[in-house]
Amino acid sequence: MADVLAALREAVGPEHVLTGADCASYERDWRGRQPGRALAVVRPRHTQEVAAVVRQCAAHGTPIVPQGGNTGLAMASTPDTSGTAVVLSLTRMHRLRALDAANLTMTLEAGCVLQQAQRWAAEANLLLPLSLASEGSCTIGGNLATNAGGTQVLRFGNARDLCLGLEVVTAQGQVWHGLTGLRKDNTGYDLRHLMVGSEGTLGIITAATLKLYPMPAARLTAWARVPSVTAAVALLGMAQRRLDAALTGFEMMGQQALALTARQLPQLHIPFNGKGPYAVLLEVSDAHAEARARQGLEDTLQEALEAEHASDVVIAQNLQQAQAMWHVRESIPLAQAQEGLNIKHDIALPVSQLAAFVQHTDTALQRAVPGARLVNFGHLGDGNLHYNVQAPEGGDAAAFLHAHEGAINALVYEAVAAHGGSFSAEHGVGRQKAASLQQYKDGTALGMMHAIKQALDPHNLLNPGAVLRANAT
Ligand SMILES: Cc1cc2nc3c(=O)[nH]c(=O)nc-3n(C[C@H](O)[C@H](O)[C@H](O)COP(=O)(O)OP(=O)(O)OC[C@H]3O[C@@H](n4cnc5c(N)ncnc54)[C@H](O)[C@@H]3O)c2cc1C
């Protein structure tokens, strides 16, 4: 153990190898569930330092947990409790290497915070269309390692769809120089897509080349009160027909989600005081002018009112109002965390199945755990719900989780499978859902995943226990 620490100090400098109490904030995940214990936290500054760290860890058989902003919600960015793993923090690697306006690309180091990347793009009047509530802390490396989604997937896709090239340190400590800005490159297996979404289990992303888009000339945001999930889905269909690619965001929030946000964050202004079973937030963008976007949005909302798919609508009149609406939506996870521990389900369903799923599962949960609060919100346009379950009001959250988490997860995930969905839409599998992967993933696919892991990381040193369980095929 002393040997590996000495070697790591040699590789990155002693001040960038943290031990003991200095590791605390790297050992605890955003939700504060089950803190781990690290042998050390290592903070390299350059790709070659990352490679040196990995080589030393490989030589000593020391597991590595890559970490970016530590905002992940699947328990994959923090170590287990063994005290044997090194946390490899990429946050000192945060430079913009290049911005190619003609090629509409930017190349960034993995530890760059997403919001800073968005700002660099905006300074060139370009858009990096990846947007998450955690964007002030999460990093490009973490976004790619989790294949992050967020609020603009409907129009621009997940982090995967924005990634053209990668630089990666392999489990053997070699560097793969794959930072291409090409939109076409059919030269064999696309390793980029193996790395994206691999949650630090196949390689360490040290830099990436991402797609950029022209900055839209206009963005409009609207809020509507809707009577049901069925109505929200109908409104989504209307918006897609009328607005097509101009529709860049479509979020849904349930009454419980807004109620606890109002209670925990009373300074927020929630349109219509959060009343009504559901609310939706629409965002429309236009590359050239506001008038066309406004007309399309107004026509959509009018049609929704006439069809009784919406009962009240409001269009933000300025940037401040638009930001306030988005702020409500993006504050829900924080409000929920402040309300107490809860059982999170980040699920994806075909949009056509959303209403049936919610109706079936709401009823089954109320029957199984009377009084439990169903905090349902999410990126409806992508069929992605954060279908969370919170203890009854005033109840003991920890005791609720202890008593019901297993049964509630089983009930929700069985319903997800029955409706053709996925138990992990955008947060990943991590350590938290490794057992669910085992249960719900197609057996042949699981076998191929194990074969890939074995080929790239035969000694299981990269984030062991995350995504795949050792010895389980
Ligand atoms: C309030 C809040 C809102 C959120 N909203 C969304 C949302 O809308 N959509 C969404 O998709 N997610 C969301 N998340 C989850 C989280 O922000 C994303 O998963 C994000 O992409 C994680 O980035 P990070 O830098 O914090 O990664 P970390 O949490 O540090 O790590 C996440 C995973 O990536 C691996 N990893 C990190 N960096 C690297 C690297 N350089 N190379 C290889 N592996 C690496 C880690 O080992 C771990 O497996 C939210 C989280 C919070 C707290």
Domain boundaries, the chain: 2-89, 96-214, 216-332, 340-427, 429-460
Collect all residues with Cβ–Cβ distance below 8 Å to 267 and sequence separation of at least 6. none
Q: What is the CATH number of domain 96-214?
A: 3.30.465.10
- CA gap 441, 433 in Å, rounded: 11
Q: Is 29 in the pocket of ligand 1 (CB under 6 A)?
A: no
User: What class has domain 2-89?
Assistant: alpha beta
Q: What are phi and psi of 22, to 5 degrees?
A: -65, -15
Q: Which atom of ligand 1 is nearest to 200's Cα?
A: 44
Burial class (CB in 10 A: 0-12, 13-18, 19+), 321: middle
How many residues does this entry show for the chain? 473
Identify the CA nearest to 251 among candidates 319, 271, 373.
271
Q: Ligand 1 pocket test: pick from 43, 46, 70, 73 the residue with the most ligand atoms within 8 Å of its Cβ.
A: 73
Identify the CA nearest to 279 among candidates 313, 305, 311, 253.
253
Please state which architecture CATH assigns to domain 340-427.
2-Layer Sandwich (3.30)
Q: Is 138 in the pocket of ligand 1 (CB under 6 A)?
A: yes
Q: Is 73 in the pocket of ligand 1 (CB under 6 A)?
A: yes
Residue 211 Cα to ligand 1 midpoint, Å, equals: 19
pLDDT tens by residue, 351-399: 999 999 999 999 999 999 999 999 999 999 999 999 999 999 888 999 9
Indicate the pTM of the whole model: 0.95
Per-residue pLDDT of the chain (473 residues; tens, 9 = 90+): 679 999 999 999 999 999 999 999 999 999 887 889 999 999 999 999 999 999 999 999 999 999 999 999 999 999 999 999 999 999 999 999 999 999 999 999 999 999 999 999 999 999 999 999 999 999 999 999 999 999 999 999 999 999 999 999 999 999 999 999 999 999 999 999 999 999 999 999 999 999 999 999 999 999 999 999 999 999 999 999 999 999 999 999 999 999 999 999 999 999 998 888 999 999 999 888 888 889 999 999 999 999 999 999 999 999 899 999 999 999 999 999 899 889 999 999 999 999 999 999 999 999 999 999 999 999 999 999 999 999 998 889 999 999 999 999 999 999 999 999 999 999 999 999 999 999 999 999 999 999 999 999 999 999 999 999 875 54
Distances (CA, A) of 237 to 181, 244, 250, 335, 463: 34, 10, 11, 30, 41
Residue 179 Cα to ligand 1 midpoint, Å, equals: 21
| The pair of three-digit structure tokens given for residue 67, joined into one six-digit string | 């970490």
Identify the CA nearest to 29 among candidates 92, 82, 73.
73
Q: Which residue's alpha carbon is at the smallest distance from atom 48 of ligand 1?
A: 77
Distances (CA, A) of 253 to 334, 336, 384: 14, 13, 12
Collect all residues with Cβ–Cβ distance below 8 Å to 89 and sequence separation of at least 6. 26, 41, 42, 43, 67, 68, 111
Count of CA atoms in the C-beta half-sphere (13 A) of 58: 18
Fold of the 216-332 domain: Alpha-Beta Plaits (3.30.70)
- CA gap 109, 120 in Å, rounded: 13
Topology alike, domains 216-332 and 340-427: yes
- Report the amino acid identity of residue 36: G
- CA gap 155, 167 in Å, rounded: 26
Identify the CA nearest to 3 among candidates 64, 83, 59.
59
Q: Ligand 1 pocket test: pick from 33, 146, 380 the residue with the most ligand atoms within 8 Å of its Cβ.
A: 146
Residue 58: other Cβ atoms inside 10 A = 18
Which DSSP symbol is given to 469?
Answer: P
- CA gap 373, 187 in Å, rounded: 51
Q: Is 315 in the pocket of ligand 1 (CB under 6 A)?
A: no
